């Protein structure tokens, strides 16, 4: 059984679709389709999810921002996710569900709802212990930041991540650090945990991280960190559904703090892992 899978979600259930040859990313998996809005997440315990309802609501919010009528059948999507992930042959999967701009009629369906699955391997433990390096994507921006649109996922392919540079950061015209190409960004300045409050995607993991920081009595701010403030940072981090909270120890050529993950990020990550253990649920 192939490890890269694509399904259309129809009234009678999920139906496999052809997988493009050599597809190794979701962006490649959806090549040639009328891209719309999507959400990407990972499974836990094979077929469980964290905050799935929030992912679905964000997809609905993205549709509304584009002026689309709400035609997302949540019950059908949940059944499809449960069926697709339960049959997946590996212990965990990266999951993406899309509501397309138009039905892929060339695939003999009028459903706009697709589910893609790929193998999931969590970031190596040493990345949480030693941190990662990031850089800037100065010419990349989200047209509608609050809408998670698949066309942006295609544009960011110009910035290949996963080598020496783990992620690229988007900047505002004022030099504010907004977010990563597929993550939210945080910086600790004078003991305050900062992340941009506007002009960014409303990440589901970001919401959990901010809620946990409040519960831990960690001072937080939705004022973004600027490029000029990077030398004053004592800690920095990225968050995403596949990464949890991942420490950043270098931004461009500037080392963050002492070049090691700091106590605030470690405290939040520990709380996040405990939260996940309590909150994961199946789709149905």
SS (H, E, C) 141-184: CCCCCCCCEHHHHHHHHHCCCCCCCCEEEEECCCCEEEEECCCE
Tell which residue, 66, 78, 74, has the closest CA to residue 34: 66
Between residues 223 and 22, the one the model is more confident about: 223
The pLDDT tens digits of the residues spanning 120-134 come to 999 999 999 999 999
Residue 16 lies in a domain: yes
The two structure tokens encoding residue 149: 């649109």
Model pLDDT, residue 182: 87
Assign 26 a pLDDT band (cuts: 50, 70, 90): confident
Model pLDDT, residue 2: 76
Residue 71 lies in a domain: yes
What is each CA distance from 9 to 107, 232, 241, in whole angstroms?
Answer: 12, 49, 23
Assign 44 a pLDDT band (cuts: 50, 70, 90): very high
Model pLDDT, residue 160: 65
Task: Give the rounded percent of residues in the chain with a pLDDT score beyond 70.
Answer: 94
- Of 64, 91, 119, which one is at a domain's C-terminal end? 119
Assign 184 a pLDDT band (cuts: 50, 70, 90): very high
Model pLDDT, residue 27: 81
**For 230-247, what is the mean pLDDT?**
97
The two structure tokens encoding residue 49: 């999810």
Residue pair 172/198 in contact (Cβ under 8 Å)? The answer is no
- 144 and 270 in a single domain? The answer is yes
Residue 284 lies in a domain: no
- 20 and 130 in a single domain? The answer is no
> What contacts 220, CB < 8 A, 6 or more positions away?
192, 193, 194, 195, 210, 213, 214
Between residues 21 and 240, the one the model is more confident about: 240
Model pLDDT, residue 221: 98
Its pTM stands at: 0.90
- 150 and 272 in a single domain? The answer is yes
**73-90 residues labelled b (16+ CB within 10 A) or e (exposed):** eeebbbbbbbbbbeebee
Assign 268 a pLDDT band (cuts: 50, 70, 90): very high
Of 29-38, 63-72, 185-194, 264-273, give the lowest mean pLDDT range: 29-38
Q: Give the CATH number for residue 59.
A: 3.30.470.10
Assign 140 a pLDDT band (cuts: 50, 70, 90): confident
How many domains in the chain?
2
Model pLDDT, residue 276: 97
- 38 and 134 in a single domain? The answer is no
- 145 and 260 in a single domain? The answer is yes
Residue pair 236/186 in contact (Cβ under 8 Å)? The answer is yes
Please determine, for residue 112, whether its predicted confidence score (pLDDT) is greater than 80: yes
Please determine, for residue 149, whether its predicted confidence score (pLDDT) is greater than 80: no
Of 30-34, 100-104, 216-220, give the lowest mean pLDDT range: 30-34
- 193 and 221 in a single domain? The answer is yes
Assign 23 a pLDDT band (cuts: 50, 70, 90): confident
**For 239-257, what is the mean pLDDT?**
96
- 83 and 224 in a single domain? The answer is no
- Measure the CA dihedral 53/27/240/95, to 10°: 40
Q: Which domain holds residue 183?
A: 125-279
Of 99-103, 158-162, 217-221, give the lowest mean pLDDT range: 158-162
């Amino acid at each position: 059984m192939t490890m890269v899978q694509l399904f259309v979600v129809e009234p009678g259930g999920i139906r496999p679709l052809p997988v493009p040859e050599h597809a190794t990313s979701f962006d490649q998996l959806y090549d040639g389709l009328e891209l719309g809005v999507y959400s990407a997440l990972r499974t836990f315990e094979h077929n469980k999810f964290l905050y799935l309802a929030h992912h679905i609501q964000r997809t609905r919010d993205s549709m509304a921002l584009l002026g689309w009528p709400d035609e997302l059948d949540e019950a059908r999507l949940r059944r499809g996710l449960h069926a697709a992930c339960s049959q997946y042959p590996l212990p965990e999967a990266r999951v993406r569900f899309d509501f397309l701009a138009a039905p892929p009629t060339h695939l003999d369906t009028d459903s706009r709802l697709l589910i893609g699955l790929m193998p999931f391997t969590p970031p190596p433990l040493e990345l949480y212990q030693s941190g990662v390096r990031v850089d800037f994507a100065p010419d990349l921006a989200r047209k509608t930041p609050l809408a998670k649109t698949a066309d942006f996922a295609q544009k960011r392919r110009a910035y290949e991540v996963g080598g020496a540079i783990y992620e690229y950061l988007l900047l505002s015209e004022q030099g504010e650090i907004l977010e990563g190409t597929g993550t939210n960004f945080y910086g600790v300045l004078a003991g305050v945990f900062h992340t941009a409050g506007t002009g960014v995607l409303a990440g589901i993991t970001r919401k959990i991280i901010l809620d946990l920081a409040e519960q831990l009595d960690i001072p937080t701010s939705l004022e973004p960190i600027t490029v000029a403030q990077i030398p004053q940072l004592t800690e920095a981090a990225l968050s995403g559904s596949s990464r949890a909270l991942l420490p950043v120890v270098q931004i461009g050529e500037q080392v963050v703090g002492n070049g090691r993950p700091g106590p605030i990020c470690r405290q939040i990550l520990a709380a996040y892992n405990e939260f996940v253990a309590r909150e994961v649920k199946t789709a149905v």
